[in-house]
Structure 1
Amino acid sequence: MNAAPLNIWNERVHSVCGRFETRYDHCQSLFIGELHKVMLGSTEVAYIRSNASVIAKSRHAAGAEPDPYCFLVLQQHGEMDIELGDRVVQLREGDLALLDCATSLKMMPKGLFGHVSIHLPKARLAGIGPEQFGKLSSTGACGQLLSTLVRQVAGGELGQWACNEDGAGLQDALLALLGSVLQYRASDPAASLHLHEVQALIQQRLDSLRLSPASLADELGISSRQLYRLFEARGDSVCRYILRERLRRAAQDLRNPACMHRSITDIGAAWGFADSAHFSKTFKKQMGVTPRDYRAGSH
């Protein structure tokens, strides 16, 4: 059994992220471990993809040099559970989290995952308590800005503009936004939550097959019943809103000349419809024509 890929991966992780140790419980030849680092000004960003069983880090030993970084993470693909001391948080596709590598940390992916980790200096997060680490809310203006900025970093949109003069500018912007986002937990999220904030979050998640009222409520830190009430107060329902917006986005692509090379099945799947027959039936019920006829009529 050749463990070389796992050894190489561990060495790479040590050099970029610190003393994390990886365990893979299957045939070593099937292990996937990809990690590359980029610099945006003086901010380090790690792109990680793996099917590891467990990635863990123990609390640093007494007298040892403390880890200088915390990690702002975007879960791009896949899911994982993360043990943060005596707490367990679930990261799904699209979730943001702030992780403190000075404490014990255990990531348990559920199959192949991909995430982006932005390194932030722990010294500049000194006032944050352990309960504030974990999954981050994207409600509120600062939450939306933080989410958008991290997604731009993850998508490589800022790489072409990066220059030495950027210095710690990206880091400063992320930390400023984090300062507000971490305060969201100090109050009852349902008390200050507005419908337009929930709708904005839904727009970001429309292409995910895992988008559901339960996943939204979990990310927002409210109960499913509170989420339903937000929409019911306006005479709507969260499920109907999600469906309408997915169909609206699909219709935009169907009439877009730039999308003519894409199949109807592909467009439906891109907006959360895993089954092409279901997409066609639902589209016709809402729009009065099939996706094929809608596309033909648009052009």
Structure 2
Amino acid sequence: MRGLALTAWNERVHAACGRFDTHYDHCQSLFIGDMHQTLVGTTAVAHIRSNASVIAKAARASGRDSSGRCFLVLQQQGSMVIELGDEALELHAGDLALLDFSGAVKMTPGGLFTHVSIPLPGELLKGLDRSRFGKLSTTGVCGQLLGMLVRQVAAGELAQWSCPQDGDGVQRALVALLASVLEYRANDHCPGWQLHEVQSIIRQRLGSARLSPASLAEELGISSRQLYRLFEASGDSVCRYILRERLLKAAQDLRDPVYAHRSITDIASYWGFADSAHFSKTFKAQTGLTPSHYRSRGH
């Protein structure tokens, strides 16, 4: 649903996520509020796109969430700061976060954003340490599987396989992976970054046109020179790695019949190429084929 009026948008959000109210500080006619839900088994996944100024829920509105329902969120595009009580975290494109929305919540997007929100009932989360909820690391095997599953759900890749027998199986699978992923946070303070950790973060950010060595180094809290050295030690470079991974993902989508309806420009943009002409030129230089020729041969 496109271009929802602010009132209608709030009603949709209330129904899907609880008593969150949206504020928009500019001309109402410029407000963007797109939201739809898809079913994966019995799980209603919310796909949200908006340029809201603030999305918030007061603590007194938490009665609806008394069951302890939490949300697994994939920030697909844009960024936002999320305040949960005294804690604040910043999500960028590619980030995964497990968020407890039972108390007061304030989300401040940095402009237009898209994200996907998967509800997880409180009874499935019993035994997990809620003090470790927040932004999730995906550096381990379970983290990679979690990220892959959430992105497949977000892209609708699993819709063709959905059946009534799935029930809450996807939620249970996510929680099983989260049990290990939450343990990664205990090791966040180890000195230095390993190459595979940085590569994992890059793969999460591929869809952002703003991804660059400078922005990555700033996020990691290291100098650009340290970042370059990390890749040079393996005979690679951070720029080549980013380009190679983007081309690989774009090539996979061009071959995939599921994405046959998407234009080459859309696929290029999705994987962080701001200029479709540059994408075509680079793609041909790497594969020897234009994207359109590659797509026709792949099918």
Q: TM-score, normalised by structure 2?
A: 0.76
Determine whether 1:135 maps to 2:125. Answer: no
Determine whether 1:46 maps to 2:46. Answer: yes
Decide whether the 8 Å contact of 1:136 with 1:181 is kept in 2. Answer: yes
Decide whether the 8 Å contact of 2:18 with 2:65 is kept in 1. Answer: no
Decide whether the 8 Å contact of 1:18 with 1:67 is kept in 2. Answer: no
* 1:200-211 superposed matches below 5 A: 200-211=200-211
Where has structure 1 moved over 6 Å in runs of 4 or more? 61-65, 247-250, 262-268, 276-284
Q: Helix, strand or coil for the counterpart of 1:111?
A: coil
Residues 263, 28 of structure 1: alpha-carbon distance in 2 compared, 3 angstrom cutoff: closer
- 1:157 corresponds to: 157
Deviates more, 1:165-174 or 1:31-40: 31-40
- 2:236 corresponds to: 236
For residues 223 and 118 of structure 1, the distance between their equivalents in structure 2, rounded to whole angstroms, comes to 33
Deviates more, 1:236-245 or 1:166-175: 236-245
- 2:22 corresponds to: 22
Q: Greater CA radius of gyration, 1 or 2?
A: 1
Counterpart of 1:182, as a letter, is L
* 1:161-176 superposed matches below 5 A: 161-176=161-176
Aligned length: 288
- 1:58 corresponds to: 58
Residues 269, 37 of structure 1: alpha-carbon distance in 2 compared, 3 angstrom cutoff: closer
Deviates more, 1:126-135 or 1:110-119: 126-135
- 2:213 corresponds to: 213
**1:218 shift after superposition:** 7.0
Q: Helix, strand or coil for the counterpart of 1:198?
A: helix
For residues 91 and 32 of structure 1, the distance between their equivalents in structure 2, rounded to whole angstroms, comes to 20
Deviates more, 1:16-25 or 1:238-247: 238-247
Residues 222, 131 of structure 1: alpha-carbon distance in 2 compared, 3 angstrom cutoff: farther
Deviates more, 1:31-40 or 1:162-171: 31-40
Gaps of 5+ in 2: none
For residues 248 and 118 of structure 1, the distance between their equivalents in structure 2, rounded to whole angstroms, comes to 27
Decide whether the 8 Å contact of 1:22 with 1:55 is kept in 2. Answer: yes
Counterpart of 2:241, as a letter, is Y
User: 1:56-94: per-residue Cα shift (whole Å, max 9, x none)?
Assistant: 112247988715410001112222111122232221222
Residues 125, 248 of structure 1: alpha-carbon distance in 2 compared, 3 angstrom cutoff: closer
Counterpart of 1:31, as a letter, is F
**1:197 shift after superposition:** 4.7
For residues 137 and 120 of structure 2, the distance between their equivalents in structure 1, rounded to whole angstroms, comes to 18
Q: Helix, strand or coil for the counterpart of 2:59?
A: coil
User: 1:111-153: per-residue Cα shift (whole Å, max 9, x none)?
Assistant: 2222111000123324444542221112111111101100111
Decide whether the 8 Å contact of 1:60 with 1:66 is kept in 2. Answer: no
Q: TM-score, normalised by structure 1?
A: 0.76
